[in-house]
Structure 1
Amino acid sequence: MNEQPSPQQVVQAQLDAYNARDIDALLASYAADASMYLYPATLVAQGHAAIRERMALRFAEPDLHAQLLQRVVLGNVVIDDEIVTRNLAEGRGTVAMTMIYRVQDGRIQDASTIMGETVLQARD
């Protein structure tokens, strides 16, 4: 019998794929009909095609990287506190983010993003 990965393992696989900019591995961690939200309830992508399109834009950023600061697991809900390095229109910077994932049947069913402060790095 094949045991499903834990919610924490699913979310870690998603984070590893994000940092590797591996869109196929990232999508493999999401349910086919998964939803992405800006907290609390603004739908920004639903289903693999929309998630692929959204993430392809992020993965084009040369400095993209999410640093996990803290993780809380409550049953099938995983909450990650992260600092994400981004290439923004205003320049390179970091964004504080809290990600809330709900995992069901070994896949992320929905993900909500709480955006924190953006800190731009000084230009040389």
Structure 2
Amino acid sequence: MHNATDLIQRQLDAYNTKDIDAWLGTYAKDARQFHLHGDCFAEGHAQLRERMLSRFQEPDLHARLLNRLVMGNLVVDKELIIRNLPEGKAEVEMLCIYEIRDGLIQTASFAMTEPRLIGG
């Protein structure tokens, strides 16, 4: 599904440029984010915005796509994320599973490795 790939790439690009409005524009108004096989940690644009605005304050924040699989309305990305944590600059590998409905991300589930501190 070419449109699914384009949507998820727009979401990743907006994440990397820290453009909250463009990032939210890829999500349905009532979208929900989950820990994989776990609890919902954000629901709706207001909670998504609040969560990401603090994340977008991290100066080194960046996601690098390692692999992408598309099956119908599902897109699975494996990414390497650079974060600024209280302990220092770190990287985590993240598995992102997006379900797309009506041209927008409806649900997103995430699994990640423990952060690894990196130099610099």
Deviations 1:82-119 (A, max 9, x none): 00000011100100100000011100001011011311
Classify the secondary structure of the residue corresponding to 1:61: coil
Larger Rg: 1
RMSD value, Cα: 1.1
Q: Give the Cα separation in 1 of the matches to 2:16 and 2:10.
A: 10
Instruction: Tell me the residue number matched to 1:71.
Output: 68
Matches within 5 A, 1:75-94: 75-94=72-91
Deviation at 1:41, TM superposition (A): 2.6
Gapped regions of structure 2 (runs ≥ 5): none
Percent of aligned pairs with the same amino acid: 50
TM-score normalised per structure 2:
0.96
TM-score normalised per structure 1:
0.93
Q: Give the Cα separation in 2 of the matches to 1:7 and 1:64.
A: 24
Deviations 1:62-88 (A, max 9, x none): 000000000000110000000000001
Deviation at 1:122, TM superposition (A): 3.5
Moved over 4 A (4+): none
Instruction: Tell me the residue number matched to 1:106.
Output: 103
Gapped regions of structure 1 (runs ≥ 5): none
